[in-house]
Structure formats: C-alpha cells, structure tokens
Structure 1
C-alpha cells in the first residue's frame, strides 16, 4: 500500500480499558483517519477535504474529552487524545507543505 499515509502508530490498549466508551470512540476516530490514500491528496480539492476531515476529527476528540472530563479514566483518555491530536497536527503540516509546493 504505497499510496497510504500512516497517521500514527497505535499502541496496545489494555483490554480492561477497551471497555470504556470514550476509549472506543477515540479508537474509532483513530481508525477512521489512520490511513489516508495519497491519491486523494493530488489535487487542491483533495487536500482541502483531507484538512477538513482531520479538523473534524480534532473537534470530535475535544467533544469526547469534554463529555468525559470527570471520569476516573480521564488521564488515559487525555494520553490517547494527545497522541492522536499530535499525529493529526503533523499530517496537517504535511498537507499544507504539499499545498504550498503547488499540488
């Protein structure tokens, strides 16, 4: 799969934490955006759609964290969300770089 961008390397989450609904939601977001087909990044419209999708994922992460802010697992949620958000930001930087290169 040479035309796929790996968004971030996932870590194994302990099985007891997988049951937490917020962890499942964050992992669903990660899975949804974890690979992006580079062929969609060949046009300005494709770049714009990718940036919009990643921005939407960031907004969803913030909503999940807000919904579960008083939860005892909040530290684990913040760790997962932080890794995912950092990866999304790096991909956005790469997309902007592609855009400035005239794609």
Structure 2
C-alpha cells in the first residue's frame, strides 16, 4: 500500500463488492483494516496493507480480502466495538448482528 496518488488521485481500488456500498468504516485499532457492507447483503473486511496473495487472486478474491459474511438483510450501518480488535456490530432489517471474524 502506498500513498503515491497514482492515476487521478486514487490510492487503491477494490471491485469485489457486487452491489452499492451501504456503509464503510475504518477500524479504530488497526489503521489498515476497513469493513464494508453492500446492497447484496454482505459484510466484507479488507486489510489494505496486505501483501499480494496469489492464492486469493486465483480464487477470485482481491489480495486485500480478509473476511466475508453473507446473509445480512439490507445492511445499513457498521460500528466497530471499542476494546476488542475486529469486533463489529452491523444493523440490518433483522436488528443488530454482532460479528467477530
């Protein structure tokens, strides 16, 4: 991962999520980890400083891929839970799901 602004100021582009992004949050305890929910009912976590992982790429995942949780019902918001690294709360139509990958 680099701060070189590359083409048109874009640092990095990940095109794994198949629907519109409904929420994106950076981890307060791990500066290179982000969590993303999308309209296809998935929560995905990415490690932005990850090394190139040929095995992940062969399987169709970006090298930044860290975790995928499917089965949300119209996810709306992500909140990192303080004090526990990687612990998330995600709101959807069914309420709140607490997730620790």
TM-score, scaled relative to structure 2: 0.22
Give the number of the structure whose residues are more often helix, by fraction. 1
Give the number of the structure whose residues are more often strand, by fraction. 2
TM-score, scaled relative to structure 1: 0.22
Larger Rg: 1
